[in-house]
């Protein structure tokens, strides 16, 4: 399976690419927007494609040619303003959904945010970010794609434990980025989570067992 990782230069994206490289039957393709990022990925023997989430849908569709699945893990980052959050986390995500439909790529995995589906539990200081995630997720749910939406808790730069809790609405907690990446890999291995959305935090179940309960 050839998997386009959108946001491959980010921390989770980097780990997803690495996990896909190590797994059997997967070929990661890293989508980045800068030439220097392409060079760095090629040094790791990663196939790359150059495209920009602020560009037209047609360009994103070209980046998806020959792709079997898309993982969207791009984000504007904490150092940009609300305008970039709208352009990347919302409009960029929606354009990728449109591009996948245009190209005929059915499988789409979205990395969202814990309880983005639940307005009552949004962090006030991050409200524009949650608004962007909420409506990007809604657009994916209304699309024709075979989607899975993963809503991880607070992200940690710690070694993965391989133990998680996954469910419709979990208490606010944290999870290593490495475990999010492994969850993406497990999601791509099975059709069990198609048309499903779930929160994800560190817990007691193996990732495979947790996904069986979703």
Q: Which member of 129, 130, 135, 147 is catalytic?
A: 129
Active site residue 129: yes
Say yes or no to pLDDT of 124 above 80: no
Can you say how many angstroms the Cα of residue 145 is from the centroid of all Cα atoms in its chain? 15
Q: What is the mean pLDDT of residues 192-203?
A: 97
Q: What is the mean pLDDT of residues 8-25?
A: 95
What pLDDT, on a 0 to 100 scale, did the predictor assign at position 66?
A: 97
Residues 59-106 have pLDDT tens digits of 999 999 999 999 999 988 767 788 899 999 999 999 999 999 999 999
DSSP letters for 25-91: T-EEEEEESSHHHHHHHHHTT-EEEE--TTS-HHHHHHHTTT-SEEEE-----TTS-HHHIIIIIII
């Amino acid at each position: 399976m050839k998997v386009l990782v959108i946001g491959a230069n980010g921390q989770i994206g980097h780990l997803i690419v690495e996990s896909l490289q190590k797994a059997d039957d997967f070929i990661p393709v890293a989508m980045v927007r800068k030439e220097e990022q392409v060079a760095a990925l090629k040094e790791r023997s990663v196939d790359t494609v150059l495209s920009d989430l602020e560009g037209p849908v047609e360009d994103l569709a070209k980046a998806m040619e020959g792709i079997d699945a898309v993982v969207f893990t791009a984000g504007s980052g904490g150092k940009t303003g609300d305008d970039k959050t709208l352009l990347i986390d919302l409009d960029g995500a929606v354009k990728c959904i449109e591009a996948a439909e245009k190209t005929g790529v059915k499988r789409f995995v979205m990395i969202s945010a814990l309880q983005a589906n639940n307005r009552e539990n949004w962090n006030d200081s991050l409200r524009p970010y949650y608004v962007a995630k909420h409506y990007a997720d809604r657009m994916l749910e209304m699309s024709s794609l075979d989607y899975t939406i993963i809503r991880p808790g607070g992200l940690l730069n710690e070694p993965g434990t391989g133990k998680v809790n996954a469910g419709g609405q979990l208490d606010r907690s944290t999870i290593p980025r490495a475990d999010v990446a492994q969850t993406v890999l497990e999601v791509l291995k099975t059709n069990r989570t198609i048309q499903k959305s779930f929160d994800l935090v560190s817990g007691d179940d193996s990732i495979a067992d947790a996904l069986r309960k979703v």
